Amino acid sequence: MTVLEAFKSMDYGLAPESDAEALAWIAGRNAKFGHFINGEFTEPRKLFQTCNPATAKVLAQVSAGAKKDVDAAVEAANAAQPSWEAMGGSARSRYLYALARLVQKNSRLLSVLETLDNGKSIRETRDIDIPLVARHFYYHAGWARLLKSEFPGYEAAGVAGQIIPWNFPLLMLAWKVAPALAAGNTVVLKPAEYTPLTSLCFAEICQQAGLPKGVVNIVTGAGDTGALVAGHKKIDKVAFTGSSTVGRIIRQQTAGKGKKLTLELGGKSPFIVFEDADIDGAVEGLVDAIWFNQGQVCCAGSRLLMQESIAEQMLQKIKVRMDKLRVGNPMDKSIDMGAIVDPVQKQRIAELVDVGVKEGAEIYQCAASLPTDGCYYPPTLLSSVEPAMRVAQEEIFGPVLVAMTFRTPAEAVELANNTRYGLAASVWTENINLSLDIAPQVKAGIVWINSTNLFDAAAGFGGYRESGYGREGGREGMFEYLKPSFLKTLTAAKPSKTSAFTKVSAPNSVDRTRKLYVGGKQARPDGGYDRAVLDPSGKTVGQVGEGNRKDIRNAVEAASNAKSWATTTGHARAQILYYIAENLSARASEFAATLKSMTGDSHTKEVDTSIDRLFCYGAWADKFDGAVHQVPIRGVALAMNEPIGVIGIACPNEAPLLSFISLVAPAIALGNRVVALPSQDHPLAATDFYQVLETSDLPGGVLNIVTGDQDLLTKTLSEHAGVDALWHFGSANSAEAVELASIINLKQTWVAGGKARNWFDEAQSEGREFLRHASQVKNIWVPYGE
Amino acid sequence: MSIGITNINEVPNELAPRNNGMPLDIEFIRNLRVNRSAVERRCVTHGGRRTVKKTHQAAWLLKSISCIDLTTLSGDDTAARVRRLCAKARQPISSDMVDRLGVKSLNLQTGAVCVFHEMVETAVLALKDTGIPVAAVSTGFPAGLTPHRLKVMEIEDSVAAGAEEIDIVISRRHVLSADWGALYKEMQDFRKACGDAHVKAILATGELGTLSNVARASWVCMMAGADFIKTSTGKESVNATLPVTLVMLRAIRDYYDQTGIKIGYKPAGGISKAKDSVAYLSLVKEELGNSWLCPDLFRFGASSLLGDIERQLEHHLTGSYSSGNRHALA
């Protein structure tokens, strides 16, 4: 083409980034890679191919990790962990700093390698992925240095097994490896089979940084290799990012094994545009929301919700904008969208779009021509979509936007939350009242006001609901790789004595059968049976209702209905907790006597401590503040601690009143509603509490108490999709069942695994650890500037 | 006000009708909203989304030259100084480079020469038979605080002296006090005084406070009949920027969608690097389309930009970095 022709056409022409260095790097390793175990690469074996999706050409062959590879990696990580942790945060921070610097030094190689392996544009790898990788290592180098002073009483979780997806290969590695190493863990990482190359390049960077052998181990392979990592006996912590389907499998696989688990799963994130928004800004936001990384983003703004009054205008503007998108060779510097990672994914996108069209959606695809070879799918808009359609509910994981309308802010929230997922949301309006009203109402771990897909190491990332649990980034993310140091000192709780209910004999005084406590009222058990409560000698000291499935159903319903508790002010919640303490104090001797009747010991101290603990959470109710994260924008990221919702709590036998209070009080202090299953052996402490509650202004439904066979009731509670979290401090054999059943709605679980805490020791039984479990962090990004 | 978007037709610009404006819609003006952070994000990432290299880069730089309003607006301007500028406008790059680039047929010259009223006659004479229009800054440039009556007379005098384009400055106080009716009336008067001369409305965006005000002022001026909207006088402390450009381009696009009339755009002040000019061109291409990439609808108000472009073009031809003294002074 001549200058004259170019002048007439005013086209962009080609501006390809060179792939020479990256291809030379691959060739320099004979295009064959082994695993990275104990600081060294293994001999390549059981090879499979990794391709460039933009050209379908094979880039390299990598090894499929088998059991012995995973064993060797886990072994190396276990061997390296104690000294890695023992060297201290200060020394570790220097290694993390070195990794950050080396990522920066190698940033162009890593960018090009990532684009070759994944198909995403060089613009994104160069301007977004790799700079964020370096940022995560820098940021966590800082946490390593501050670990001792900022996380007292905590130690490393141990060896982390990390399984990452193909959509942001090196970035997901950084999100997982950086906090793990900072906290003193060692890792075994399994990159996605489509995109292993940058992980392997990172392995070399670890060598260059002089990282001690075995601290980072990388085993390549497909899902079966990942399963070997997640299921390995000597892995203490599993972190997974990927599909909700695989997330569920991993939850099942790790159930009852005492492993810490974080899941960062799918999404169908709403992108809400109100009529007073900057429409052009919002349209451009969509480009970053759904046509970023070919839409292969877990937090992609894939569901456009527009206020009816602007819908027509906005759709037109979106179409005009779509026609300007350039799709093609991701190595070209003037490309908006590159290739889909694999033909399998492209096929799935096409099938879902077909379903949408058959169900009545109108389709618009961008006018840009696609390259004929390679794996490409055009930017696509499906409008006239209804919530009942599959494309409105299912994650498409491609460049496909579905558009719907709403009439009022309330309807916008309703539609936004009409999904199993809860990862992210964008809210567009020029009205600060509206934006800050909507943000807390949307069930999502991240909310972007007038922006989208902003990421930073300082702000936690992670979802609500079936988008998973745990956070990556921020202070909140560090806790995912730490555990309280006292945990290792705990001993096994004594198993419960009572198992089945006993038919009760005639009372020897005026009958006093405790009912269940549901919705603020004492309710007869649905089954119409009672169970005897025995003293240590086996003598009946009282009776409690034998709750069943339906009682659990009713209790959860009552808890769900008590929604307004979540928005009751901390000040009001504090007063109610103090009032409960006051009323308990008035009846202290009565409670001490009840406890004595059940356990035979003197319990004045337990009642006193229980009162004190209620005071503790009365104190906390208006003080568990969030944070304002320092993110690199003109604006703020507000980390708000929000209640989780409905929490099921199975209480232990030890200190039956105190443990019950210690678990229930933090949950309700932060605005959760609770269905509590009191101590299996000594439930009278909780049932006598009904009368305290009734005189203490606690709104009905906030705390519900169901007595009976705890293991049985726990199972129903664990399987209930309306329960958002389950805390299990009951019998050891129920812990696994709880974690298994949690996959129904991917509820968060906190299980003691049959270990007994000392409920009189404040370090073990009150404070921030409990409050963190009772809350989830929502990060609200608010850019500002007029 | 509803905005019905039509496909951007590629009607030849010379056949396109001139903007006759429309009634002022104050409600519409008040409701215009621009989110600064969103605008800035688009602008920051734009440079990473689009780039031109090699042959295309040379072509785009020639396009930039063809869109320059080669400008001198100094208190010490003299007739000789203006004649030198006009010579450069006629022959912006050396004939040797024209030959080597193979673009003789383009008859490359700048979009216009832009001067104060007193220099109009000199410039008109110096540009005789070239087809290069003379643009006069007017209406009490740069502050725009002379009496309205005199502003109108100033325009009439410049037009009588042969200026084909008049760059007026708006009264910023009308924007800052949200007196949209006054701004509309002022612009209408200026447009009327221009007669057949094309009128560019300088918004002085650096003095309007917010991007929303930039959008509002853009719309009021277009509604009152401006042919071009222009960012700055070059004398404000902040002149042309990409965020301001994006806001003005979007206003132009919406105006076109609604009326079918294409308004021109002129960023001015602070654009002195070849690379910057390419970023402006590509933003115009993205937001408005190729039909705006011509001197009829796009101009750079610049004095030193040409020199940098000349050096870049020589680098394109020789592969060696150039220096200023190898190119004729403007």
Q: Which domains does chain A have, with CATH numbers?
A: 33-265+476-485 (3.40.605.10), 269-462 (3.40.309.10), 513-774 (3.40.605.10)
**Domain for residue B321, yes or no?**
yes
How does residue A536 score in pLDDT terms, banded at 50, 70 and 90? Answer: confident
Q: Is residue B10 part of a domain?
A: no
Q: What is the DSSP string of A625-644?
A: --EEE--SSSEEEEEEEEE-
Q: Write the CB contacts of A140 (distance below 8 Å, at least 6 apart in sequence).
A: A96, A178, A179, A181, A182, A457
Residues 129-168 of B with CB under 8 A from A: none
pLDDT tens for each residue of B251-298 = 999 999 999 999 999 999 999 999 999 999 999 999 999 999 999 999
Catalytic residue among B167, B227, B254, B308: B167
* Strand arrangement of the beta sheet that strand A516-518 belongs to: A521-523, A516-518, A703-705, A673-677, A646-650, A725-728, A748-751
Question: Residue range A346-354: average pLDDT?
Answer: 97
Contact residues, chain B, for A366 at CB < 8 Å: none
B167 in active site: yes
In a domain, B100, yes or no: yes
Closest residue in chain A to residue B50, using alpha carbons only:
A334
Q: pLDDT (tens digit, 9 = 90+) per residue, A29-59? A: 999 999 999 999 999 999 999 999 999 999 9
Nearest to A425 by CA among A778, A41, A1: A778
Q: If 0-12 CB within 10 Å is exposed, 13-18 middle and 19+ buried, where does residue B99 land?
A: exposed
Residue A701, pLDDT > 80, answer yes
Confirm whether B185 is a catalytic residue.
Answer: no
Residues with Cβ within 8 Å of B164's Cβ and at least 6 positions away in sequence, in order, are B112, B133, B134, B135, B197, B198
In a domain, B9, yes or no: no
| Cα(A61)–Cα(B227) distance, integer angstroms | 61
Chain B contact set for A634 (CB, 8 A): 37
Q: Percentage of residues in chain A with pLDDT exceeding 70?
A: 98
Confidence of residue A771 (pLDDT cuts 50, 70, 90): very high
B3 contact residues in A (CB cutoff 8 A): 313
Predicted ipTM? Answer: 0.95
Is the pLDDT assigned to residue A503 strictly greater than 80? Answer: no
In this model, does residue B6 exceed pLDDT 50? no
Q: Is residue B222 part of a domain?
A: yes
Contact B37 A786 (CB under 8 A): no
Q: Is the pLDDT assigned to residue A501 strictly greater than 70?
A: no
Q: Which of A6, A278, A282 sits opposite B59 (nearest CB)?
A: A6
Using a CB-CB distance cutoff of 8 angstroms, which residues of chain B are in contact with residue A315?
none
DSSP code, position A699:
P
Nearest Cα to A460, choosing from A472, A470, A446? Answer: A472
Sign of CA dihedral A157, A160, A166, A168: positive
Pick from A114, A120, A252, A85: which is nearest to A174 by CA? A114
**Which residues touch B142 (CB under 8 Å, ≥6 apart)?**
B169, B204, B233, B234, B235, B236
Q: Is residue B47 part of a domain?
A: yes
Q: Which of A12, A278, A428 sits opposite B50 (nearest CB)?
A: A12
Which residues of A are marked as active site? 264
Residues of chain A found within 8 Å of residue B285, distances taken between Cβ atoms: 10
Please state the domain count of chain B: 1
Strand, coil or helix: what is B198? strand
The closest alpha carbon to A466, from A644, A262, A267, belongs to A267
Statement: residue A341 has pLDDT above 50 = yes
Helix/strand/coil for A65: coil
Q: Does B326 touch chain A (CB under 8 A)?
A: no
Q: In this complex, which of A3, A14, A276 lies closest to B59 when CB atoms are compared?
A: A3
Helix (H, G, I), strand (E, B) or coil at A767: coil
What is d(CA A54, CA A375) in angstroms, rounded to the nearest whole number?
Answer: 6
Residue B187 belongs to domain with CATH number:
3.20.20.70
Query: What is the 3 state secondary structure string of A159-194?
Result: EEEEECCCCCHHHHHHHHHHHHHHCCCEEEEECCCC
> Which ranges of chain B does DSSP label H, i.e. alpha helix?
26-31, 36-49, 54-66, 79-90, 95-101, 120-126, 148-160, 172-176, 180-194, 211-223, 242-259, 274-287, 305-318
User: Which of A584, A714, A600 lies closest to A657, judged by CA?
Assistant: A584
* pLDDT over 70 (residue B208): yes
- Per-residue confidence (pLDDT) for residue A500, from 0 to 100: 53
CA distance linking residue B304 with residue B293, whole number of Å: 21
- Whether residues B40 and A785 touch (CB distance < 8 A) is answered with yes
What's the angle, vertex CA A706, arms to CA A705 and CA A710, rounded to 5?
125
**Which residues have a Cβ under 8 Å from the Cβ of B39 and sit 6 or more positions away?**
A278, A281, B211, B243, B246, B247
∠ Cα A282 A283 A285 (to 5°): 60
Which chain B residue's Cα is nearest to A448? B38
Report if residue B293 sits inside a domain: yes
Tell me the per-residue pLDDT of A200-225, one tens digit each, with 9 for 90 and over: 999 999 999 999 999 999 999 999 99
Confidence of residue A497 (pLDDT cuts 50, 70, 90): confident
With pLDDT > 90 as the criterion, what percentage of chain A qualifies? 92
Cβ B62–A313 below 8 Å, yes or no? Answer: no
Average pLDDT, chain A: 95
Q: What is the pLDDT of residue A603?
A: 80
* CA of B115 vs chain A CAs: smallest distance (Å): 28
Check residue B1 and give its pLDDT: 39
> Do B268 and B245 meet the contact criterion of CB atoms below 8 Å apart?
no
For residues A599 and A682, the answer to whether their CB atoms sit within 8 Å is: yes
Task: List chain A residues with CB under 8 Å of B106.
Answer: 4, 7
Percent of chain B with pLDDT over 70: 96
CA-CA distance, B186 to A22, in Å (whole number)?
61
State the pTM of this model.
Answer: 0.95
Mutation for B interface: A2, A7, A274, A784, most B CBs within 10 A: A7
Token output for A15: 């501006």
Question: What domain range includes position B211?
Answer: 18-326
Residue A25 C-alpha, separation from nearest chain B C-alpha, in angstroms: 25
Give domain status of residue B13, yes or no: no
For tokens 């972190």, name the residue.
A239
